[in-house]
Every structure is written in C-alpha cells, then in structure tokens.
A and B are shown apart, each in its own frame.
Chain A
Amino acid sequence: MILDSFKVHSLIFQLQYKEAFLLWDRAGKIASGMKQIWSELKVRNGVPNQQDLACPGCQVSTGLTQSTVVLRGDNVLLSTSLEKLSAAFKVWRFNLDIVELARISARAIFVKNFDSMDEVKRYMFSLAVVEWPTQKVFDQPIDSSKNVPDVMFRFEDEKSFTFVRIRAEERKFEVKLDPDVMENDIKKDTFRVLIDFDRGNLGSVLTEKIKLDEWFKGYVHVMRRDIDKVIRGRS
C-alpha cells in the first residue's frame, strides 16, 4: 500500500452542528474538559462564538456551529490518540447538548520526504495519477523546479464524501535570531509529497448513535483498503 512508505503528519477531526448556544454558558467547562485530555493546552484565543486552545502538537477549537481538533505527529492514528478524540467528542456532546450532527469528518495527512525537488517530481511522475506533458505548454518553462502535479479526487454524494489529494511541496524555513543568541540564521529547505485523505458523513447523525472508535475504524479501514485503487505506481 502506498501509505506504507509515508509517515502520518497530522489528523484533523471536525464536527458541524446546529447553533450550540450553550457554548456561551459553558466555554470554561469545555476548556477544562479539554485540558484534562491534553494537559498542556493553553488558551490561544477566546471570543464568544469560538475558543481556541493549543499546545505543541494539538489544537482544539470549539465554536457555535463547528468544532475541530488538530493533532500533529506520527502517532495520531494510534489508539491512544483516538481515545483522546473520543473523550473530546464526549466533552462537546455533553456540554453543548449536541443531539444531532450535520457533518462529521476527519482528514489525515501523510508525508514522504525527499532530498530535492527533482526527486519529488520523479516520484510524482512515477505515480499513475496524471500524464505530464513532455513539451512546453502555456509558455511555462518546462524545467522549472515548481512544475509539479497537484491532483485531487472527489467522491461524494448527499450522504458522505471522500476527497483524496496528492501534491508536492517545497518548504523553506528560516529563523532570524538575535546575533547574541546565534550568529547565523537557521535555514532549512524540505521537499515532500503529501497525501491528504479527507472523509466524512453528511446529513443527520444522532450523537447517541456514534461510536467514535468504530467510526475511526471504518475511516482507517476504507482508506487502507482503497487508497491503492486511486493512487498507485505505474506498472
């Protein structure tokens, strides 16, 4: 499976629901509940319709109609992380009195690092997702390092959706510090391919019927079962 050669980068879990006005009364209790799950969370932003808590590797946003957890790290699909997401779901469900969801979804992002953009491009072209032109098109230089495919597959209907996106990325990271701290700036360039798997359910989902651990089992199950049918190497 193609994902076996990728590392998990992050997981985003999101709920959407009708206006949960109890947010205005219970923001503190929700924040306390989340801090019991991720003890290092600190308040990043707080306005009546949304509160954001964050710590290294985790961000929790609770809103009037949408709440999100973002986890970062290569263990975000393991049971320990998913148990914490289940606990967060319960905090939202009981404190906001959410009976019904309009949407529940999760997005897992996987990365594969390379040493150069040329390697990234060779890898991308080796995948059977797109036919890259062999001649100059649109008056764009054919040898530009930024020429890469960025492909998204959308599978959706009124009950659920699955979006799969594969793209290349070059990231230039630069830190300028006080010369008294460090004489030279820190610079780092990374070159990577990202696979972005976003799946969710739409419509009326009763929260009492949701077993989040089983929901994530289904999420991982279909991802691992079918990803190679969408993205695979050329034979």
Chain B
Amino acid sequence: MSVDITVDLPKIISWKTVKLDTSGDAAYGGTISPISKDVVDVVELEGSNTNISDLTANLPVSVRSPRHEVPIGRLYPQLLDSDTSHGRLSVLVKDALDDCRRAVDSYQAGDVATIDSCLANIAAVMQEAYGQSEFNDNLGAVISFVRRAAIAASAVEVSLSSLNALVNALSSISHNPFMDLSEAADLVDSLSDEGWRGEHQAVSAMLECFIGKSDSIDVHQNACLQPELFEE
C-alpha cells in the first residue's frame, strides 16, 4: 500500500552539519540540512521520493493505519519458526492442546482409556515444552504445573469442566507465550480451582518449613523429595 500525501514536516531527524554533498540526494529533493558552523554528525533519513515515504522516520503522520488486531505470529515471527525455541514450544503446546481436545471428546463418549492416554501425552509433551521455555520463566512455571497435574490426574477423577479449563489454559499459553507473572498465576489458579493438582511437592514442603508448620513433611528425612528439588 502506498499513499502519496505531501506533508510539510519539520526536520525532526537530521542534525546540523557543515557543507555536505551526498550523491543521489538531489534526485530525492535533498536531505541536506542548512549549513552551520557546528561540526556534528549527519543522519540522512529524509527523502521526498514517494517510494520511501512510508519508511520508518519518513511516514507522514496523517496516514491512517487499519484498525485490526495484529496476530501474535506477526508481532513475534520467531513463534512460527521451528528453528527457534519459541517456535518449537508453539508446536508442542499445539500438540498438547489437540490431545486435550481429544480428551474432551473422549469424555463425552465415555472412553476412559483414551482420556488416560491423552493425559499421559500431555505430560510428556509438557516435559519437552518446559525445555524450550527458557525465554519466559512465568510460562515455564505454568507448563511445569500442567505437566505435574497431568501426571497426578486420572481419567476417572477428571470432569468435563476440568478438561475444558485445561483446554483454556493451553489455548492461553498458545496465544500468550510471553505472559507475565500475574497472568501465569491466574492460569494456575484457574486450573487449581477445577481440581488440577500441579503443585511441586518439594516446593510445598519447603514453604511449609519456612512458614513453620509443625505437621509438615520432614524434608531432611524424606530422601525421595531431594531429587525433586533439582529435577528441573
């Protein structure tokens, strides 16, 4: 799209200079600033050629942009590239989402075995996805929660609303991989509210120790918890 609008803009992006003759500029209407005695740098950015009128720093401010929302893949193209961790994670989350939707269909069909299989797949995929989530710790925390929740759940315990909550959570991860801490916490809370148990056992035990509850698990004596602290 090219809109030819002539607007007399102030020279906002050029520094003063002494006499400067740059080849080719005359054809574009000239970008040379007035001669001055100051000796500073020149950044040549302006041009009257309409071919470059919508270059960044040249676009007339009266041009109106369309008002549709920009898809996340356009804002962050690395999400669509399988050569990046972002892209690989996007693919894995989509796989988990497909499994979760299959679990919903199986629940409605009463197929318990498929639900179990889907939950196992989700846990495995989330484990792999966690390895690609280094660019956002908040996302990593949610993925880790989903993995543990999928491991802990069984087909006979899940409900349709809990599966739908998991679908929504995975869909949120897919659309917002750069979520902040509050968004991540909200997602975890929404899953917990629907019965998903994804708390890290060792972290919960440590918190209980710090808070000082006397009936807490003795982390020092419970050797099987020790590897959990360093698992990921």
Mostly, the A contact residues are strand
Residues in A118-160 with C-beta less than 8 Å from chain B = 146, 148, 150, 152, 154, 156, 158-160
Complex interface: stretch among B54-62, B92-100, B118-126, B207-215: B54-62
B70 and A221 within 8 A (CB):
no
Q: Are B13 and A215 in contact (CB under 8 A)?
A: no
Collect the chain B residues with CB atoms within 8 Å of residue A206's CB.
69
With contact pairs A174-B18, A198-B56, A203-B70 given, residues A218 and B45 touching in the complex (Cβ less than 8 Å): no
- Determine if A198 and B74 form an interchain contact, defined as CB atoms under 8 angstroms apart: no
Is A102 among interface residues, defined by CB-CB distance under 8 A? yes
Q: Pick 25 A–B contacts, CB within 8 A, sort by A.
A: A12-B13, A12-B56, A14-B59, A16-B59, A45-B10, A70-B45, A146-B24, A156-B1, A163-B54, A165-B55, A169-B22, A171-B20, A171-B22, A172-B21, A174-B18, A174-B19, A174-B20, A175-B18, A176-B19, A196-B55, A198-B56, A203-B67, A214-B178, A218-B75, A221-B78
Which A residues touch B55, using CB under 8 A? 107, 163, 165, 196, 198
In the complex, which residues of chain B have a beta carbon less than 8 angstroms from the beta carbon of A61? 12-13
Known A-B contacts A158-B68, A214-B178; A170 and B23 likewise in contact (beta carbons under 8 Å): yes
Indicate whether B84 reaches chain A with its CB closer than 8 angstroms. yes
| CB contact under 8 A between A72 and B41, given known A172-B20, A218-B76, A218-B77 | yes
Given contacts A159-B71, A203-B67, contact A175 B81 (CB under 8 A): no
- A28 vs B54: C-alpha distance in the bound complex, in angstroms? 30
Which residues 1-36 of B sit at the A interface, judged by CB distance below 8 A? 1, 10, 12-13, 15, 18-24
Contact residues of B: prevailing secondary structure = loop
Which of A12, A66, A146 has a CB less than 8 Å from the CB of B23? A146
Q: Does B65 lie at the interface of the complex (its beta carbon under 8 Å from any beta carbon of A)?
A: yes
| CA A107 to CA B47, docked complex, whole Å | 15
Chain A contacts with B in 163-208, Cβ cutoff 8 A: 163, 165, 167-176, 196, 198, 200-206
Q: Which of A50, A107, A158, A209 contacts B56 (CB 8 A)?
A: A107
Q: Closest CB of chain A to B35's CB: distance in Å?
A: 10
User: A61-B12, A63-B61, A150-B24 in contact; A221/B81 too (CB < 8 A)?
Assistant: yes
**Interface membership of B221, Cβ < 8 A:** no
B51 within 8 Å of A by Cβ? yes
* B229 interface contact, C-beta 8 A: no
| Complex contact A70–B43 (CB within 8 A) | yes
A160 to chain B, nearest CB (A): 5
Question: Which residues in B have their C-beta under 8 angstroms from that of A148?
Answer: 23-24
CB-nearest residue of chain A relative to B1? A156
Given known A-B contacts A12-B56, A221-B81, A205 and B75 have beta carbons under 8 A apart: yes
Q: Whole-angstrom distance from the CB of B206 to the nearest CB of chain A?
A: 30
CB-CB nearest in chain A for B62:
A65
Min CB distance B8 to A, Å, is 14
- Least distance between A207 CB and chain B CB atoms (Å): 12
Q: Are B15 and A158 in contact (CB under 8 A)?
A: no
Bound-complex Cα distance A14 to B39 (A):
27
Interface-central residue, B61, B76, B84, by most chain A CB under 10 Å: B76
Q: Give 1 or 0 for each of A51-69: 1 = CB within 8 Å of chain B CB.
A: 0101011010101011010
CA distance A225 to B19 in the complex (A): 39
A208 to chain B: closest residue by CB: B180
Assess the A50–B10 pair: CB atoms within 8 A. yes
Q: Which residues of A contact B54 (CB under 8 A)?
A: 161, 163
Contact B22 A201 (CB under 8 A): no
CB–CB A50/B21 < 8 A: no
Residues of A within 8 A of B227 (CB): none
Report the minimal beta-carbon distance from B62 to chain A, rounded to whole angstroms.
9
Structural contact, B24 and A14, CB atoms closer than 8 A: no
A226 nearest in chain B by CB position: B77
